[in-house]
Structure formats: C-alpha cells, structure tokens
Structure 1
C-alpha cells in the first residue's frame, strides 16, 4: 500500500518552483501567515496549490 503525504515542505516547494531553499522557506512562512497558522502547524498540498495558483495535480506529480 502506497502512502502519500498530505503536507508540503520547503524542499518540495524548491523543486516545484525552481527557487532556492531559503526562498521556499520564506514562501512557506508567508502561506502560514496568510492562513493564520501557527509555526508548528503544517501547510497541506491543497492549501499550497490554492495559494500559488498551481493546479493540485501538478503539485502532487512534481513532488513524488
């Protein structure tokens, strides 16, 4: 049985956007701020896709 992740990490964002890890960390922090999440809370793939405007299917395919 294959399991898939529900949350996205800075390294995934770096791969998807082609930007550096630090820029990806800043983007992740910006998303958390806009969604009123605390620092220990995760950002889901769906939330990332909605925020950036990238289709959900493209996000899931490019991460795994």
Structure 2
C-alpha cells in the first residue's frame, strides 16, 4: 500500500504554479482564511484543489514526483 501525502506546502505550490515560494505562503494563508482554519492547521490537497480549481490528480503528480 502506497501512502500519499495529504498536506500541501509552499514549495509544492511553487512547483505547480511556477511562482515564488513566498507567493505559496501567501496563498496558503488566503486558503486558511477561506476555510476558517487556525494558523497552525494544515491545508489538504483537496482543499487546495477546491480553492484553486486545479484537478487533484494534477496536484498529486507534482507532490509525489
């Protein structure tokens, strides 16, 4: 059984979007506000997909490679 990572990090967003890691941190902050999460809570790939409109399978390719 292969486990897949559930959380997304700024470096992942950098790889997906081609933007800077700082942009990734800002985007994660916006997503946390959108989903009413505390600063210490993580953003899942599903939540990132829902917010950005990027397909989960596409995101998973970037995260696992």
Provide the residue aligned with 2:63 in structure 1.
63
Q: Output the TM-score relative to the length of structure 1.
A: 0.94
Runs of 4+ aligned residues of structure 1 deviating over 4 Å after TM superposition are none
Q: Paired residues, what number?
A: 64
Unaligned stretches of 5+ in structure 2? none
Q: Which residue of 1 aligns with 2:22?
A: 22
* Structure 1: segments with no counterpart, 5+ residues: none
Across the aligned residues of Structure 1 and Structure 2, the Cα RMSD in angstroms comes to 0.8
TM-score normalised by L of structure 2: 0.92
